[in-house]
Structure 1
């Protein structure tokens, strides 16, 4: 089948040729470079990233013994260096709602973002002073599991029986004054669209109460800030659907090692993080409505970034 199908003699609903850019590439083709220098670059970067991860375990462990906020500052530094090793430039758009110091209104910030790759943790970890929520399996990953543990990642189970306890564990961190970040899609995607959001974790901002049950006085007041992450430049050029899916995205049964090696062959990349205006949970009647509002903001931002409709503003 050709990429552009000619007009048939029969009447059709449209008078334009059918064009599908994805037909230009087979899914097996990963759009990767494969010269000797590319392979060497990938090996050096993978080795440097592994060495830095080991050093990060020692660094974060030491910071936990120090007074003050060093254990919260170190992850920002760690992920910044990790992005530099892979030569990922991080561009930020909009204003982040939270910081290491409390907000004037004393509200905690819950960041919710789209999820297409393990790279999202590096990119968001560089710009978000927050504790991440991750699935329980991450805790047992070599090196990364221990590093996320030291970084105070909150691990949750996916079974419904323990959902209530998971939410309570997250709320306890909010009570201590920490901001939280999580991926409501629950898993990674191809990066060209959003998966359905799971509204259950939005209970940390909008607890479920039975009719007639009084509001909990000790529940921290929160705001939700939707965040869009898009990988929009590869060696200075705009990223299309195919390369977004098979260079940056990590989904399905992809192995981590080959994906890292393939990514490391490219000389430079850019990720854009868009901070949307915060939304207040009390303005929505249910967790589902709150989840839908966050998803709509992230989806609109994702579409704008994929179509390169926004100008450069801030780089970090």
Structure 2
């Protein structure tokens, strides 16, 4: 994992300076050139996905760390092919856990991140040793569902009637060696702010706090994550350019991917906050509120290019 403390040119308030500009497409190259770039990138990603799927299909048949490490390699390849550079600030508390690590009492980590776009999946998947927790609708999307299943994604319905069963399912995955990544906003946003967190997502973190010492040695650790797309073709991303990355509401997925692939280069900065002890909070609402504040403030600093304060 790459670490940095200060990145790029310092801009104090890009939102206010550039709010009037709202580019729809990259202007530095011809229309045909941009189309060819996007087509070549998406073709390369499709080929890489097919090759990786065959490899992962074999790896998931066996226990151990290889399937987790290869999933990160796959997402890193997707980012590279898209022209997305990732800079990580901070240190992950999670490791690639196997049965030996579980036996030694290495605690599972639940990463909690803000959610702006489908691009969060490859960006965070490339740098965090975790499986995604995703809405059940994704399990019905053609092609995407296959990639998600090979990545061993945990699907949840988010309906109250199935909450207990789904929490148990996530806990079981944590118990056998996985870490998990949650997007507790429940949906993606415009990227200008972090939506409130649903406290139900944090039930998994507090489920084992009354366990015996032997049972509780693998209790969950929460690690907040702030991710912001802060550079586009070498320039800071201001409010008008966030639409290049953000995918939310009723926006169609395929056209958004096509438009993004036309741009030359992009950068995401991932701020990994210090871990949070769930047991220090009386209720899941208190825990959700505390983690939301950390994630929200961290994202605000990144949007204003104040990484040195992170």
Q: TM-score range by the shorter chain?
A: 0.7 to 0.9
Q: Which has the higher helix share?
A: 2
- Judge conservation of contact 1:230–1:302 (CA < 8 Å) in 2: yes
Matched, 1:228 2:226: yes
4+ residue segments displaced more than 6 Å: none
1:252 corresponding residue in structure 2? 249
Change (3 A) 1:231 1:53: same
Residue by residue over 1:109-138, the C-alpha shift from the partner in whole angstroms, topping out at 9 and shown as x without a partner, is: 110000000000000000011111001111
CA distance in 2: counterparts of 1:65 and 1:278, whole angstroms: 32
2:163 corresponding residue in structure 1? 163
1:285 corresponding residue in structure 2? 282
1:9 corresponding residue in structure 2? none
Secondary structure of residue in 2 paired with 1:177: coil
Residue by residue over 1:47-89, the C-alpha shift from the partner in whole angstroms, topping out at 9 and shown as x without a partner, is: 2222222222212101123453211111011001000100100
CA distance in 1: counterparts of 2:26 and 2:179, whole angstroms: 37
1:43 corresponding residue in structure 2? 39
Residue by residue over 1:238-289, the C-alpha shift from the partner in whole angstroms, topping out at 9 and shown as x without a partner, is: 0001111x10001111111111111011111000010001110111111011
Secondary structure of residue in 1 paired with 2:50: helix
- Judge conservation of contact 1:116–1:190 (CA < 8 Å) in 2: yes
Matched, 1:265 2:262: yes
- Judge conservation of contact 1:79–1:122 (CA < 8 Å) in 2: yes
How many residues matched? 286
Supply the RMSD in Å over aligned alpha carbons.
2.2
Structure 1: runs of 5 or more not aligned: 1-18, 210-214
> How far 1:310 sits from its partner (Å)?
1.6
Please report the TM-score for the alignment, with normalisation by the length of structure 2: 0.86
- Judge conservation of contact 1:76–1:129 (CA < 8 Å) in 2: yes
> How far 1:312 sits from its partner (Å)?
11
